[in-house]
Amino acid sequence: MTRYSRITGTGSYLPPRRLTNAELAAELATKGVETSDEWIVERTGIRARHFAAPDVSSSDLAVAAAKQALEAAGLLASDIDLIIVATSTPDMVFPSVACIVQNKLGIAGCPAFDVQAVCSGFIYALTVADALIKTGSATKALVIGAEVFSRILDFSDRTTCVLFGDGAGAVVLQASDTPGILASDLHADGKYVGILCVPGHVSGGQVVGDPLLKMDGQAVFKLAVGLLESTARATLAKANLSEADIDWMIPHQANIRIMQSTARKLKMPLEKVIVTVDQHGNTSAASIPLAMDVAVRDGKVKKGDTLLLEGVGGGFTWGAVLLNY
């Protein structure tokens, strides 16, 4: 019998502190940085984001989202035999956030590791989990995207600090005898490292380089739209499906204009695109599972729907997953 994997539960978590554009603009003004709600909305579609408290880490957000996903799947933490966390903002240099999550869930023994592909991280993590389930190495996996990007923002740079937020999203991926994950497509091109990066590291007890996010917004935008279209088409081709077969597209929530441009290229009505960027900002690896959980709990995404998940991120990385929910 062919072995497949299916998503059986979703969960998400946002820190309680919500900042509207107006509130963020007022805070930035005290630092001599000018911006406004109108400026941010026009360029990005973002109206608010959530920031974690100083004592809250990525693992804390991940655990909260994981517990929701486990409850939705009707499972206990002890049922899980694989944990993969996609993050660019880990609690510490090592060990992985996944190992910390495992401990906080009160379980032990199963493999647990992080995937670092920035905003494409959840797509990468879901593809890896699917492969491990298909080969019989795992049966019930927690796949989580969790970020505290507020910790790596340069609040003197209005072109980047208004874009990002904190949060986590999680899914339970289980072995199944019917297809769930239909196809996936992963890519990277390291020559674009410089257009989106945090070029610092720890050496000799000191931060060497710049530990704050740097982005060439125009370069990222131009690259993103083309790559999202190509990876979507490649994934559909692998599954012998077309754009018309997609019930919902759940893209990485980076910028409403990128999402709209991608939808146009795929000839998809905007009504079929799940949008949470207006309320969450860009939560990097958390954005796709966060948006998916919101859509599931809002009743938009229903059992049997065909979903296209896709993202681009620093690296440059990009990819897509087509699945039957």
* Residues with catalytic roles: 119, 252, 282
Q: Tokens for 63, please give them.
A: 């655990």
Give the Å distances, CA to CA, from 142 to 11, 102, 219, 233, 267.
10, 10, 34, 27, 33
Q: In the structure, how many helices (H) and strands (E) does the chain have? A: 10, 15
Look-up: residue for tokens 């991940």? Answer: 62
- Lay out the sheet containing 4-13: strands in order across: 4-13, 166-176, 140-148, 82-86, 112-115
| Helix/strand/coil percentages in the chain, nearest 5 | 40, 25, 35
Report d(CA 170, CA 286) in Å as an integer. 8
d(C-alpha 38, C-alpha 4), whole Å: 46
Dist. CA 181–CA 3, nearest whole Å: 11
CB 125 within 8 A of CB 84: yes
At residue 146, φ and ψ (nearest 5 deg) are -145, 135
Query: Which of helix, strand or coil describes residue 3?
Result: coil
Q: For residue 205, is it left (φ>0), alpha (ψ between -120 and 50) or beta?
A: left
